Amino acid sequence: MSRARALVAMAFLPACVVASPVSAQEAGGLGAAIAHEATAKVLWQNPSQILFAIEALMDRGMIASTRSLGIPGQATALDLMALKDGKVLWTAQLPSGVDAMNVCADTLVVAISGAVQGLSLKDGSLLWEQPLQGRLETGWEPSPAFAQASWFAEKAMKAQGIGGAFFDGGGKLYTCVSGIAYRLDPATGDVVWERPIGFSIHSPLITYKDMLIVPSDKGLLALDQETGQPRWGNPLGWIGQVRVVDDCIYGVPHMQGLCRFDPETGDVLWQLEKLAPSPGDTLFHCGDRTVVISNRTPMIIHTETGELLWSVDAGGRWADTDGQNIYYSPNGTKQIHAMSIADLKEKWVAEFTGFFFSRISSVKPAVMGLGWGEVEAFNADTGAAIWSWKAPMIGGTINDVTMTADDRAYYIQTKDGIIGFDVATGMPVLEYPGEFFFCHWMSQRNGTLYFHVSPPTNGYVAAIPLTGAQAAQ
C-alpha cells in the first residue's frame, strides 16, 4: 500500500510576514525536510477508473466509482464505498460504462447505454430500469471522464451529480431525453409527467422555488414541478449556462452576453453586451454586486441595474475571491492585484517572480500564485511576500486545477506527488510521494484528504488523515 509521510513542525521559516519570500530551498529544501521523517499509512485505497465524487452522496458518507471487470458481457463494476474506511458497501455489475450519475432520495440514478437505472443505496440492487427513447441531454456539464481530467475547483461544477443528466429537486427526479423533459419517480422509475421543450438543452436542468427551469434551443422555459405545465417562456433562442444565485436567474443567450431574468415572468431584466461567463466560471453575490470569477474575463456587475462596474482580461489565468476581495492578474503581466468588491478600490499589487504564472488561489490568510513548478504566497491583507516553494527538480510541474484547502493548509499535486503547505508559513505538513500519471480529483473533509489517480498507472481512490502527526501544529 502506498504511504504518506508525516511531517513535524520545522523551524526553517519565520512565522511573521517578511519583505521577500523565504524559500524552502534556502532553508534546507522540502526534500531535505521530509527525507528522514516517519511515515504514516494511507487510511484506505481502492481500485478505481472513474470516480463519481457527488457532493450529496459524500454528505451521506459515501462515494461511488467504476472499474473494469475484465469479464465478457459485464463491462463495468460500480462500487459504493464508505468514506470513513474505504469499505466497499456493495458492487453492481453493469452492462456498459456510466455516462452520468446522481443521487435522489435513496436511489442512485445512473445512465448507461440506452437506459436509465435506479439502484438501491442500501445494497446496489436494481430497483428499476427506464428505457427512455432518444439521446440523454446533458447540457454543457462534462462527462464523468472529462470532469475528472479537467477537475474544476470552481463551485459551479459540483452541485448536481456528474454528467449533467439528472437533477434532484428535493426528492423529485428530472431529466431530459431528445428534447422532452421528464419527471421520474426515484423509487420506481415511473414517468410522473413529460413535456416537449425543444430540440435539445444546453445547460443542465435547475429548479427555482416550485419551477423547473429548462434552457433549450427555443429559449428559456419554466415548468411547474408538480404537473409539468408551462409557467412562462422566453423565446430568446439558444440558451446555455443557466445559474440560480439566491433569488436571481442568470443565463447566456447564443452569441450574447450575460442576462438576468425575472424568475416570476422570464422577462430579461438586463443584459450585458458580448461579455459572457464560460462553463466552470463561478457566479456569486456580494452585497448589491454580482461577481463572475473566471480565467477569461472576471467581472463585477450591479445586480439590480446590470451596469458593468469592472472587468479585466485575465489571459487564461484563474482569478479568485475570498467573498470580500477579488484577486486577479491582468493579461500580459505577472502581477497579482487585490481589489475590494464593495468599493472597487485596489488594496495592493504583488509581483509573481517565477518563470510562469497560471493561477491565483485565495486561502486565508494568504493568496497563492501557482506557476510551473512553484508556489508563491502573499499576505491577503497587505500583499507582502511571505513564502515560496519550488519543485526540487527541473520540470517539476504543478497541476493547477487539482487542489484543495482546509482552514490552515493548502494541498496541490506536483510531478512527484501531493504536497500540503501550512498557508501562513509555507511549512510542509504533508507529502504523498508518487509519480502517478494524473491526480484527477482532490478534496478534504472531516480531517481527511481524499484523492483519485488514474491510468496509465493503476487507477485508485485513496484517503490520507490530516490530523495528529500529519497536521500543522
Q: Is 354 within the bounds of a domain?
A: yes
Q: Is 427 within the bounds of a domain?
A: yes
Cell numbers for 309: 462596474
Q: How high does pLDDT run on average in the chain?
A: 83
Written as one letter, the residue type at 248 is: C
pLDDT of the residue at 467: 66
Q: Tell me how far apart the alpha carbons of residues 440 and 424 are, in angstroms, rounded to a whole number.
A: 26
Q: Are residues 333 and 296 in the same domain?
A: yes
Q: How many domains does the chain have?
A: 2
Q: Are residues 370 and 398 in the same domain?
A: no
Q: Are residues 291 and 363 in the same domain?
A: yes
> E-strand spans in 197-324?
206-208, 211-216, 219-224, 230-234, 239-245, 248-253, 259-261, 268-271, 282-286, 289-293, 299-302, 308-311, 320-321
Q: Tell me how far apart the alpha carbons of residues 241 and 234 are, in angstroms, rounded to a whole number.
A: 15
Q: Are residues 367 and 457 in the same domain?
A: no
pLDDT of the residue at 394: 57
Q: Is 259 within the bounds of a domain?
A: no
Domain boundary among 353, 384, 415: 384
Q: Are residues 361 and 407 in the same domain?
A: no
Q: Are residues 428 and 379 in the same domain?
A: no
CATH code of residue 341: 2.40.128.630
Q: Are residues 407 and 462 in the same domain?
A: yes
Domain boundary among 384, 404, 429: 384
Q: Is 362 within the bounds of a domain?
A: yes
Among candidate residues 397, 315, 396, 419, the one with its CA nearest the CA of residue 360: 315
Q: Are residues 290 and 362 in the same domain?
A: yes
Q: Are residues 303 and 374 in the same domain?
A: yes
Domain boundary among 384, 404, 433: 384
Q: Is 468 within the bounds of a domain?
A: yes
Q: Is 232 within the bounds of a domain?
A: no
Q: Tell me how far apart the alpha carbons of residues 130 and 390 are, in angstroms, rounded to a whole number.
A: 53
- Boundaries of domain holding 319: 281-384
Q: Is 432 within the bounds of a domain?
A: yes
Q: Is 337 within the bounds of a domain?
A: yes
pLDDT of the residue at 124: 97
pLDDT of the residue at 456: 57
Q: Are residues 294 and 377 in the same domain?
A: yes
Q: Are residues 347 and 379 in the same domain?
A: yes
Give pLDDT tens digits for 331-369.
Answer: 999 999 999 999 999 999 999 998 888 899 999 899 999
Strand partners, 130: 116
DSSP letter for 162, please. Answer: B
Per residue of the chain (473 residues), give pLDDT as tens: 333 322 222 222 222 223 345 554 443 333 333 332 334 468 999 999 999 999 999 999 999 999 987 766 667 999 999 999 999 999 999 988 899 999 999 999 999 987 899 999 999 999 999 988 888 888 877 888 877 776 544 444 445 788 889 999 989 999 999 989 999 999 999 999 999 987 778 788 989 999 999 988 888 999 999 999 999 998 887 877 788 899 999 988 877 889 999 999 999 999 998 777 777 788 899 999 999 998 889 999 999 999 999 999 998 888 999 999 999 999 999 999 999 999 999 999 999 998 888 899 999 899 999 988 889 999 999 999 999 998 876 556 787 778 888 888 999 888 778 889 999 999 988 888 876 667 888 999 999 999 998 765 578 999 999 864 343 33
- The pTM (predicted TM-score) of the whole model is 0.86
Give pLDDT tens digits for 114-141.
Answer: 789 999 999 999 999 998 888 888 887 7
Q: Are residues 448 and 473 in the same domain?
A: yes
